[in-house]
Structure 1
Amino acid sequence: MNSIERFLYNHRILKLTENKLERWNRTDAIDKLIFAAENGMYNIRLKCIEQLTNRTRELEIDKLLVTLISDDVEVVSEAAIEALEQTASPEQRELIEQTRKNWKLKNRKKKRPNSYIANIQLGDTGKPRPSDRLMETLRSQQQTNHPPFGF
């Protein structure tokens, strides 16, 4: 991939699509697939991982999969782990176990947000409700734009 193509893909002038990925896979353009896995959206990264799984013995692909283990999207990370588990070294296995433990901790720590009604207590005269604040601002805008009759 030349520098002009990289620029166009990085600035979203050209889009990475699954059809392009399949064409790159047929022509064995591994560097383009690696670029797409590094810079694409999550569905593109998933497709790249699927297409690169049978070539995991290459060093560049192993490095890419190791970086994708710590991806923000858990689905992409899980796909990278599944691709690496077959030929993982002991260091990579430790990294895999560590990321899975981190996911479990994150899922436990996630708190479900309480609804607005659940936060209201009887006799609570604190902040006005958002809808009341909106109505107050609308009324004040109407009064400033349309003064009462008789002026």
Structure 2
Amino acid sequence: MVLLLIFLVVLHLITLAMLLISTLEKSWWVWADSEITDLWYNCFHDNASSTWLCAATNESDWLQSVQALMVLSVVFSSISFLVFLVQLLTLTKGGLFYFTGFCQAFAGFTDFAACLIFTFHRKEILSDSRDLNKGHFGYCFILAWMCVPLLLVSGVLYVHLRKKQ
């Protein structure tokens, strides 16, 4: 049982780190090696100064939905971890970690919704005159998709986890 507890804590921290990276980093859509777009900025690499020049993205309803859902996913996963730590100390023997599991599963569903919206509405979100066939999904988008099953599995495991002394 201790190994399951350690596994769940490590899994939770890994998914939380992956969620933070996918929400804050600059690679949801890659146009070329020198142009990237994320949830917050459009960035161009300036070869002369070897720096990234970033400008705020064009706001659209779909982009704001993805931003809100990704932030909610991070918030619910963080709350889930904090509640888990509190429940470890206060939960009676034999109690189940329902609230922790439901928060973690809800984080998975919000992440899933954000990824789906970005997948199906990327044309409206990117709203660029360029052809989308010249770009591809970046590693942050892939990380966000990888978090979905990890969050849902850890949520189910939390619901079935029973506190023992």
- Which has the greater radius of gyration? 1
Q: TM-score, normalised by structure 2?
A: 0.25
| Bigger relative CO (Cα 8 Å, ≥ 6 apart) | 2
Q: TM-score, normalised by structure 1?
A: 0.27
Hey, which of these two has a bigger chunk of strand by percent?
2
